[in-house]
Amino acid sequence: MAYWLMKSEPNAYSIVDLKRDKKIYWDGVRNYQARNFMRSMQVGDQAFFYHSNCKVPGIAGMIKIVKMAYPDHTAFDPDDPHYDPKSKADNPRWEMVDVAFVRAFPEVVSLAQLRETASLEKMQILRKGNRLSITPVTPEEWDIILKLAK
């Protein structure tokens, strides 16, 4: 059982959308490192839902993995913004997992708040230049952030 952090731009898909949908496939990951993290995810793993590229970037809630990695079909679709002609149906390059809503935090635990928390200084998301859309979270970091979220 592992913990993760998964980024999404709320303009595209937010925790509020997931609350409505209950469950969604996490498509569009086009980075090998992030894909490899998804491959190692197990059903029951939990993750923070991170809002990026928005007014208040930060952790907006909790989700859980409900289906292990399988081919990301959006890579096969020329009309999809994440289309990748190099990913073939008989040899898929990209994968996705299914995630389900767990809860939305009453207030986003902001990036600024995370940065102010000394015990989180080694968190991957806080490292300079970090752009990975999926990163592992340690159990210690998980607990600290849950307390910040109240």
Q: Which residues bind DNA (CB under 7 A)?
A: 7, 9, 30-33, 52-54, 57, 86, 111-112, 115, 127-133
Gap between the Cα atoms of 93 and 116, Å rounded: 38
4 vs 35: CA distance, rounded Å: 13
CA angle 117–14–23, rounded 5-degree value: 110
CB 30, min distance to DNA, A: 7
Cβ atoms of residues 41 and 97 within 8 Å: yes
Considering beta carbons, is residue 115 or 122 the nearer one to DNA? 115
Question: Which residue, 50 or 142, is less far from DNA as judged by CB?
Answer: 50
Closer Cβ to DNA, 54 or 144, answer by number: 54
The least CB distance from residue 53 to DNA, in Å, is 4
